[in-house]
Amino acid sequence: MKADPRGVLTGAHYLDGDHACAEGALAAGCRFFAGYPITPSTEVAERIAARFPECGGVFIQMEDELASSIAIIGAAWTGKKSMTVTSGPGFSLMQEHIGLAVMLETPCVLVNVQRGGPSTGLPTLPGQADMMQARWGSHGDYEIIALAPNSPQECFDFTIDCFNLSEKYRIPVLLMTDECVGHMTERVIIPQAEEIDLVERKYYHGDKSKYLPFKPDKDMIPPMVKAGDGYRFHVTGLTHDERGYPVMSWQCQEVLVRRLVEKIKNNADEIYRYEEENTDNADVVIVSYGISSRVASRAIDLARKQGVKVGFIRLIVVWPFPEKKIAELAAKTKALITVEMNYGQIALEVERCAHGKCKTLLVPHGGGWVHDPQDILAKIKEALQ
Amino acid sequence: MNPVDVSEIKKENIEYHPMEHLLRMDRIPHIWCPACGIGTAVTAFVSALEKAKPDLDKVSIVSGIGCTGRVAGYMKLDSFHTTHGRAIPFATGLKLANPDLKVVVFSGDGDLVAIGGNHLIHAARRNMDIVVICVNNFIYGMTGGQVGATTPETARCSTSPYGNFEPPFNLPLLMESCGASYVARWTALHIRRLTDSIVDAFNKRGFSFIEVIAPCSTLYARWNRLGSGLDIMKYYHEQSITRHNADPRDLKIDFQKPIIVGKFIDRERPTFIDAMNQRFSAVFGDRYTPYGVPAGPRSDEKEGVNA
């Protein structure tokens, strides 16, 4: 399926990451947006509010993030693609509805332009400390998909990817960007509508009386229907059977939650995305994502100039985590160094997957500014000692 | 009364309940206590659907959490059982994304007024075109009888064991001041009046709010020694005074005092979508295609007064 040209602003633009994200949503066919202002994400909502009237979309500024994050779930059940955008404190408020969207298997996209935390933290400055919250923030056990762009162009591209993954797997997908990427202005190329491939939602077309809203196909994903199409279906955040009816038993919990987890885990090979560079003969491999990956590139250049063999793996899809890839790298390098703007979140995953096969180090940063490449360089040298 | 042995009933003798086609009979028996007011509220709702005759395929019902939050699960409609307090913003998403839907929120006072109070007032302010049926039993039933934002002063609950000392919300006053298009209050025994109000709300464009005063036959009754659920239901009914168009400031509910019921507000205001279309048409002219405009005539967009 190709993009609706009404939403596609084809051409070369000079955009910040937030505006590029808004254009990505428009190009992906997002036609319902509910949001609440919060720095540094607000520009996404502003651009959507300005662009939607002429594209047939509905924008509503809700009373809070709780409302925004559930309004998009309601909208998704009419067949619309929907999105909300927030940052730190707002992301905390949205956690319950990330869980609801997982439980109701509702496609929707949530963008977190990360800032420094905890609490109100650093509203105008960057952070990458919500990465574990993205993975585990809602209560209960579940899998999630999260992408991390490192440029305005990727904010555009990855927002489209988020919608596609969300429609394919019937899951809320998170775009985990940050204040630097959100407010950085660069060239963004928006292609022609017919060059943008979109995933179409899988709908049920069989006998209405036989429709079971949560009966999965072989791919573990149930086909969806829209409210108003005459199926008279029920959905609930309670543990439910294939009919969508609540069933309070461990057996039903096992069937449902296992499927919710496995529909992502078993398809993870199709979901993983990373960029890998010179990892074959590397003594040290840097693991990074988002804005930190750009700073890491600078440190890698400096190290290579000094003759150090440094490899690089940049995570594009952070969740699900590329476990096999990290394990494979750990087996052939001396050290894995994680560069991220927190005190060790993805580094824990790297350590877990390395399983003691190599050294695992972290270049931490509390947020508020990007890393100094010299700190990364020093860690590379430390790893080789 | 002895329990009925179901196996003894011959199939040809089974009389079908006239409301079966609108209920999920495969989910009955329901979870509600005997003489709970939610049952009669649901009966009134089903009767109203039959009277108002909307296209049932286009009716969505949304509930939050709690005893009344289970209503959506028993209705044979597109039905959504959502999170605690957030039925209204879910309904807002549904309605705005598909304006052809008639969206009903059916939930309790704790869900809609306490944890969800912010959404309630904003939906009324926006005049979101949805129907909200709020079953007010003055207590949190599902969690075991705690005090709430609507509990009358001095009433006892598990977390107000010495009597409530917080003033409760006067819901019609709250809704009137926020801009609701239609506001009514009935007790769970005013079945005909309640049904008529739900029909009114179905035919109304704009935010409609109907408060249903209902007994919590198990918890509120026990904590306050009010007898059986039926006793309370009758008491509320007998002690209520019908006063249409009453001044909303006079509608506060005091513990075991007469309750003023009636239709208080019925006025015309542009809905969220009306106002959005009006604004964007003024700004963009022909470049804007009015969104979700129904086939029928547009409503009068004048700011109305209390009818």
Question: Read out DSSP for A333-384?
Answer: -SEEEEE-SSSSSHHHHHHHHHTTSSEEEEE---SSSPPPHHHHHHHHHHHH
How far from the centroid of its chain's Cα atoms is residue A215's Cα?
26
Verify cis geometry, omega within 30 degrees of 0, for the bond prior to B3: no
pLDDT band at B297 (very low <50, low <70, confident <90, very high): very low
Question: What percentage of chain A carries pLDDT values higher than 70?
Answer: 100
Alpha carbons B286 and B298: distance in angstroms, whole number: 19
Residues A40-68 pLDDT 10s: 999 999 999 999 999 999 999 999 999 99
**Chain B CA closest to residue A226:** B78
pLDDT of residue A116: 97
Place of tokens 């990007």: A370
Query: How far A176 CA sits from the closest chain B CA (Å)?
Result: 24
Instruction: Give the residue-averaged pLDDT of A15-19.
Output: 98
Task: State the best of A58, A110, A226 to mutate against chain B, taking most chain B CBs within 10 Å.
Answer: A58
Query: How far B174 CA sits from the closest chain A CA (Å)?
Result: 17
**Mean pLDDT over the full length of chain B:** 92
Distances B2 to A29, B5, B6 between C-alpha atoms, Å: 61, 9, 12
pLDDT of residue B221: 94
More confident residue, B233 or A48: A48
Instruction: Report residue B2: phi and psi, to 5°.
Output: -80, 145
Nearest C-alpha neighbor of A152 from the set A315, A294, A8: A294
Alpha carbons A330 and A312: distance in angstroms, whole number: 12
Instruction: Give the residue-averaged pLDDT of B148-168.
Output: 98
Q: Are A12 and A193 in contact (CB under 8 A)?
A: no
The one-letter amino acid code at A83 reads: M
pLDDT band at B1 (very low <50, low <70, confident <90, very high): very low
- What is the dotted CATH code of the domain comprising B21-287? 3.40.50.970
Task: State the best of B60, B98, B277 to mutate against chain A, taking most chain A CBs within 10 Å.
Answer: B98
| pLDDT of B300 over the 90 cut | no
Instruction: Give the residue-averaged pLDDT of A233-255.
Output: 98
Q: Of A73, A228, A246, which has the smallest distance from its Cβ to B100's Cβ?
A: A228
Judge if ipTM > 0.95. Answer: yes
Q: Of B85, B89, B287, which has the smallest distance from its Cβ to A62's Cβ?
A: B89
pLDDT of residue B307: 35
Query: How far B58 CA sits from the closest chain A CA (Å)?
Result: 4
Please give the biggest Cα pair distance in chain A.
70
pLDDT of residue A142: 98
| pLDDT of B22 over the 70 cut | yes
Query: How far B144 CA sits from the closest chain A CA (Å)?
Result: 19
Subunit contact A32:B96, Cβ cutoff 8 A: yes
Alpha carbons B181 and B306: distance in angstroms, whole number: 9
pLDDT band at A168 (very low <50, low <70, confident <90, very high): very high
Q: Are B31 and B1 in contact (CB under 8 A)?
A: no
pLDDT of residue B12: 63
Nearest C-alpha neighbor of A126 from the set A181, A84, A185: A181
Alpha carbons A41 and A26: distance in angstroms, whole number: 16
User: What proportions of chain A, in percent to the nearest 5, are helix, strand and coil?
Assistant: 40, 25, 35
| Ordered DSSP codes for A221-270 | ---B--TTSS---EEESS-B-TTS-B--SHHHHHHHHHHHHHHHHTTHHH
Subunit contact A58:B85, Cβ cutoff 8 A: no
pLDDT band at B15 (very low <50, low <70, confident <90, very high): confident
- What is the dotted CATH code of the domain comprising A277-384? 3.40.50.920
Task: State the best of B21, B55, B82 to mutate against chain A, taking most chain A CBs within 10 Å.
Answer: B82
Residues B186-201 pLDDT 10s: 999 999 999 999 999 9
**Chain B CA closest to residue A227:** B78
Subunit contact B119:A63, Cβ cutoff 8 A: yes
Task: State the best of B55, B86, B101, B274 to mutate against chain A, taking most chain A CBs within 10 Å.
Answer: B86
Subunit contact A70:B85, Cβ cutoff 8 A: no
Residue A3, CA atoms < 13 Å, CB-side half-sphere? 29
Subunit contact B92:A96, Cβ cutoff 8 A: no
pLDDT of residue B18: 85
Alpha carbons A26 and A4: distance in angstroms, whole number: 9
Nearest C-alpha neighbor of B32 from the set B2, B63, B70: B70
A341 at interface of B, judged by CB pairs closer than 8 A: no
pLDDT of residue B305: 39
First to last CA, chain A: 53
Interface of B with A (CB under 8 A): 24, 26-27, 56-58, 60, 62, 72-73, 76-83, 85-86, 88-98, 100-101, 118-119, 122, 272, 276, 280, 283-284, 287-289, 291
Is B259 in a helix, a strand, or coil?
A: strand
Subunit contact B97:A75, Cβ cutoff 8 A: yes
pLDDT of residue B13: 64
A129 at interface of B, judged by CB pairs closer than 8 A: no
Instruction: Give the residue-averaged pLDDT of B174-188.
Output: 98
pLDDT of residue B3: 52
| pLDDT of B47 over the 50 cut | yes
- Burial group, residue A199, by CB count within 10 angstroms (0-12, 13-18, 19+): middle
CA dihedral B273, B278, B279, B282 (to 10 degrees): 150
Query: How far A233 CA sits from the closest chain B CA (Å)?
Result: 5
Under 8 Å CB pairs connecting chains A and B tally to: 140
| pLDDT of B295 over the 80 cut | no
A229 at interface of B, judged by CB pairs closer than 8 A: yes
pLDDT band at B283 (very low <50, low <70, confident <90, very high): very high
Q: Are B156 and B164 in contact (CB under 8 A)?
A: yes
Beta bridge partners of B80: A235, B62
| pLDDT of B203 over the 60 cut | yes
pLDDT band at B4 (very low <50, low <70, confident <90, very high): low
Residues A101-159 pLDDT 10s: 999 999 999 999 999 999 999 999 999 999 999 999 999 999 999 999 999 999 999 99
Distances A245 to A213, B4, B72 between C-alpha atoms, Å: 10, 27, 11
Six-digit token pair at A41? 């994400």
How far from the centroid of its chain's Cα atoms is residue A126's Cα?
17
pLDDT band at B65 (very low <50, low <70, confident <90, very high): very high
pLDDT of residue B294: 57
Question: What percentage of chain B carries pLDDT values higher than 70?
Answer: 91
| pLDDT of B163 over the 90 cut | yes
Domain ranges within chain B, ordered by starting residue: 21-287
The helix-helix angle for A88-103 and A65-76 (nearest 10°) equals 30
Alpha carbons A264 and A241: distance in angstroms, whole number: 19
- What is the dotted CATH code of the domain comprising A5-195? 3.40.50.970
Cα dihedral A328, A330, A332, A333 sign: positive
**Mean pLDDT over the full length of chain A:** 97
Q: Are A234 and B73 in contact (CB under 8 A)?
A: yes
Query: How far A79 CA sits from the closest chain B CA (Å)?
Result: 8
| pLDDT of A383 over the 90 cut | yes
Nearest C-alpha neighbor of A80 from the set A211, A193, A194, A228: A228
Subunit contact B98:A226, Cβ cutoff 8 A: yes
Question: What percentage of chain B carries pLDDT values higher than 90?
Answer: 87
The helix-helix angle for A65-76 and B117-126 (nearest 10°) equals 70
Delimit the CATH 3.40.50.970 region(s) of chain A: 5-195
pLDDT of residue B2: 52
Query: How far B271 CA sits from the closest chain A CA (Å)?
Result: 13
Residues A267-319 pLDDT 10s: 999 999 999 999 999 999 999 999 999 999 999 999 999 999 999 999 999 99
Beta bridge partners of B183: B209, B265
The one-letter amino acid code at B112 reads: L
Delimit the CATH 3.40.50.920 region(s) of chain A: 277-384
pLDDT of residue B195: 98
Q: What is the 3-state secondary structure (H, E, C) of B60-112?
A: EEEECCCCHHHHHHHECCEEEECCCCCHHHHHHHHHHHCCCCEEEEEEEHHHH
Residues B79-97 pLDDT 10s: 999 999 999 999 999 999 9
Alpha carbons B283 and B292: distance in angstroms, whole number: 18
| A85-120 CB burial, b ≥16 within 10 A, e <16 | bbbbbbbbbbbbbbbbbbbbbbbbbbbbbbbbbeee
